[in-house]
Structure 1
Amino acid sequence: MSAFCCSPQVWWTLVAVLQVGAAHPHRGARAGRSAACREDTEYLHSSICCLKCEAGQFVKSHCTEAGQKGSCEKCEDGTFTEHANGLKQCIKCTQCPPDQEMLRACTPTQDTVCQCKPGRYCHPDEACEICKKCRSCKGDEEVVKNCTSTSDTECKKIQPRSTADEALTKMAVGLCVSAGIILVALLIFVIWKKRRGTAESSSVKPKCFPVTPEPSTAGGHGKGLVADKLQLHVKEEKEKLLNSENSSASSSRHSLTDRREDESFPILDPVDGVESLKKCIEFFEEVDVDFHKRFFRQLSLNDNMIKSRDYLPYEDKIHELLNHWVEKEGKDASLNELLRVLLDLNQRRTAERIVQRAVDGGHYRHQAAALEV
């Protein structure tokens, strides 16, 4: 009953009834004091038609002359009037019940708008005193329309699949599995064939030389001449092959020496000892993830130590392992040693970027000498 009395709709209904009753009194009661007020803009007070206050306001004091507006005042927080009115006080804003949530807050001209919380609903054409719980579809049903704040879940029976559909599905699955097996087998065969061909081509085969028999004039004398020619031919081929190998090895050594001289790498001096090295550890986050295990193995960290940090993010793992290496090496730990390992792994660009950042950051300075790559 209390909810009914406090409802804003009931308030407005009572106001309309009172105003209509006041504007059109019974013919036998105070007929001489009746006045015809314009319902949309005026209200009757003491036989005088006063102008209504605007929405969001209430009448603080009534008018003293017909057709005039009394004193109006704005509704306080938590109250409202939705239409022009002659009320002596504003209507209290609605408080959303526990099973509802606020959709729009109360303003001086509009009441609070509430809606059912997720999982509950209330039809808009019904009085939403209590939100109903949304329906859950049964095992043999499927959802047609999800539950909303104003409508329940809609379900329908799942149609049984035909035998033909099931057969087609099984056939499709079987074909996919068979195709997958064939592809895997084909891939294995191609890899095996390729490896076998590589192994055969890498094996050294003896070189055969054609021997043209010469006509013998004196029996065994012809056979001896053929054997002598064959030995001489083989000896010449061996000498050519040996000279070619020596020449290739020599040129390779020369080119490697020249390249090492061209690819000398700068040596760095720390500005603040081991502290400079610790400040540069973060630069090694640039090390390629495919090389990080080989990098730490070259620093003499065992696999157990490396794997013990696998649970960490990549950057944290780099920090942990390098800090462990610095503590292990003590005063012998140096940035130049770390750079040398990167160069051994052909990670020259990464090493150059680390050098640049270390020098730009003021942690290291260049030395006259250079690392041999």
Structure 2
Amino acid sequence: MAPYGAKTDTLLPVMTLAFLFSLLTITLAVPVKREKRNYDPEEIYYMNGDIRCLRCPPGNMVLRPCTIEDTESTCAPCLPGHTFSEHLTGMSSCLPCTVCRADEEEVSPCTITKNAKCQCKKGTYCPPGAPCEVCQKCTTRCPPDLVIQTPCNSTSDAQCGPPETAIDTTAIIVPVVLVILTILVAVVIWFCRKKCSGNAGSRLIPKILTVSFKRDETPTGDTETPFLQVPKLHFKENITENEKNEVIAKTFNIFVDQVPNGEFQKFVRELGLNDNEIERAKDDNKGTYDKNYAMLQLLHQDKKFDVNIWLKNLCDIKKKKVAQDIADKLITDGLFERTT
């Protein structure tokens, strides 16, 4: 016969396990307290065969359906960090939590009522509205003469554009000086009226006003803007087909360099490129320069490139100075000749 102490050691673990199992069963069987919310009647019920049961609240699953019409089911909570249910549910299991990929980071963890949220790690991105199978690397360098204007984030690549020009201080200084001069003239006139006597004061005032008006005068010719004239161009005489293709490729490079990045999609849309073609060029290429170049190649698929139409299009979108600079460079580089 075993000693008294040995029997106690054997029975204690068995009794403890039995107690915990009974406690867990009672806990799961107790109906979950429902959040007081005004749900649509069609949302709070589900069918268990021919019996209509109340759904379990968010963060739970149905452990046992009801057996009496329009009564509560027996609910059990989801497993924290592993499963969740975001809405009222009639399902017998919770949904599995999302596990972030190796190239993603977790923004918010999974709870029993909310799925985990993931985003691309720093230095990578996925465009919104598209399936994100792999995060893409951000653009870190812009084409020549362009700078990063909008940095890359988890949902969009960096955006390149021309550097911001310095503020024209003349436009600020000149009005300020004129205001100061006007105040000084007014002070002098007031002082003369108070201190100057008789005719001497009256003779001084017209002289001061004359000087003031002369300073306010500005030559009208100084404010005129020189007229910009974009020349008509044509290929050189006796150019071969291969030479023409080489000229077109170099022309594409000049347009990509000169047309501001913020206006580039508007430019190609006006030439006939649709949104699907623009998105295809952006998805198939990395870097703003390569994407814009690919858009020009799509425009040239029908072999109907006409540099004069492209230059006119720039003028139509109020980029006449850009069109003139491009035309001048095409002539200077010997790619085209001016039409007389």
TM score, norm. by length of structure 2:
0.35
TM score, norm. by length of structure 1:
0.32
